[in-house]
Amino acid sequence: MKVLVTGAGSLLGGNLVRLLLENGFTVRALVDPRHEPANLDGLQIEKVPGDTLDPESTQDALSGIQAVFHCAYATVLMPPRAGWIQAVNYQGTQNLLMSMSRAGVEDLVHVGSASSFGFGTMDEPGTEESPYAGEQFRLACFDSMRRAQELVELYSQDGRIRGVIVNPTFMVGLYDPGDSPGREYLDYIKSRPGRYPSGGLNLIGAADAAAGVLKALGRGKHGRCYILGNHNIDHRELSGRFANALGVPRPIGLMGDREVLGRGLAGTLFGRLSGRKPAFSIETARLARTTFYYSSARAVSELDLPQSPLDTVIEDACRWYADKRR
């Protein structure tokens, strides 16, 4: 089967492309020629220049394709309401769906985000049925990914495509190009912060997430969403485990919510005055004090989503991180 992968140079895309090749797929990657992804070097894939924001190149890339894996999305937090983020996530998805309809390509695995569902507690984690709660953060990446998901659901309900939606949680792993949220988290730990915020997240290895994306093509129900997650863990435990793996001191104390927000506000002001991206912003602070806990029970049951041990996920991510910093 010949498939098209958008966002092939991302953390998830890099893992997915390798998995597709291992399973005998012929892979075409839609690649922006201005940003050649180094994590695809040496792979036996067809690279075609283009961008989902360009309808013509998107249409051309679908020639001879039987299925699409749409991994091209923006997760950056700064600037929080940037129009280009909304364009990539929503308009890019709309262009792809329209091009697929014209080309007669029906099968789509759309990569969204677990943030498109309400998050929960350790005892009652969020599920695919949890109402969207991301609007409180006023982030273009959250809101536009939710809108893109709704568009895919609409196309699937209308029968214009056979779409399955997968929603990864926080990912780390091999083949990180260096611009992922996971890389930013490791940079933060490497800076020896001393203390940790009060929130938490759901962590999954990028290789496991890629396996879930691939399995969604054959096992996923059309129009259905699947949270691709694994470990719910607070920042105290997670930052300590990453620090141990990186060989740096563990954060030893809790950073109060008021201090977290104060540091975030200071970082945002610094960014505005200097024109540089702050390491910690008010948006980052609000996320850091929230528990983004989710259940991946549906994906485990219906897609046979792998659930690698936490130590394996952390070791893989830190090994790749260390290799790329040498």
Can you give the CATH number for the domain in which 153 is found? 3.40.50.720
Express each pLDDT in 30-62 by its tens digit: 998 887 788 999 999 999 999 999 999 999 999
The proportion of the chain whose per-residue pLDDT surpasses 70, expressed as a percent, equals 99
Q: Write down the pLDDT at residue 166.
A: 98
pLDDT on residue 325:
66
Q: Which two tokens stand for residue 27?
A: 């892979």
Of the ranges 162-176, 178-192, 279-293, the best mean pLDDT one: 162-176
Residue 169 resides in a domain: yes
Domain annotation covers residue 52: yes
**Which of 308, 211, 186, 149 minimizes the C-alpha distance to 12?**
211
Residue 30 structure tokens: 């839609």
pLDDT in tens, 95-115: 999 999 999 999 999 999 999
Asked whether residue 320 is assigned to any structural domain, the reply reads: no
Mean pLDDT of the region 142-164: 96
| Mean pLDDT, range 24-29, rounded to an integer | 98
For residue 179, pLDDT over 80 is answered with yes
Instruction: Select the more confidently predicted residue: 320 or 80.
Output: 320
* Residue 270 domain flag: no
326 has pLDDT over 70: no
Amino acid at 55: P
Percent of the chain with pLDDT over 90: 82
Strands (DSSP E) found in the chain: 2-6, 26-31, 46-49, 67-70, 107-111, 162-168, 170-172, 195-196, 200-205, 225-228, 231-234, 253-254, 291-292
Q: What is the pLDDT of residue 33?
A: 81
On whether residue 18 sits in a domain, the answer given is yes
pLDDT at residue 204 greater than cutoff 90: yes
Q: Given this model, what pLDDT does residue 81 score?
A: 83
Predicted confidence at residue 263, as pLDDT, reads 87
Task: Output the CA torsion sign for 36, 39, 41, 47.
Answer: negative
pLDDT score of 279 more than 80: no
Question: Is residue 324 predicted with pLDDT exceeding 80?
Answer: no
d(CA 91, CA 270): 31
**Mean predicted confidence (pLDDT) in 290-306:** 98
What is the C-alpha separation between 53 and 261, in angstroms, rounded? 35
Give residue 123's domain range: 2-173+205-229+295-307
Phi, psi of 107 (to 5 degrees): -90, 125
Task: Choose among 214, 192, 216, 300: nearest CA to 19.
Answer: 214
Q: Is residue 37 part of a domain?
A: yes
3-state secondary structure of 108: strand
Per-residue pLDDT tens over the stretch 209-262: 999 999 999 999 999 999 999 999 999 999 999 999 999 999 999 999 898 899
Peptide bond into 79 cis (omega under 30): yes
The pLDDT value recorded for residue 157 is 95
Q: Chain-wide mean pLDDT for the chain?
A: 94
User: Do 175 and 39 meet the contact criterion of CB atoms below 8 Å apart?
Assistant: yes
Three-state secondary structure call for residue 107:
strand
Question: How many structural domains are present in the chain?
Answer: 1
**Residues forming beta bridges with residue 205, ordered by sequence position:** 172
Cα–Cα distance, 251 to 230 (Å, whole number): 23
pLDDT-derived band of residue 153, with 50, 70 and 90 as boundaries?
very high
117 part of a folded domain: yes
Distances (CA, A) of 198 to 77, 234, 254, 262, 268: 20, 7, 7, 14, 20
Is 101 a member of any domain?
yes
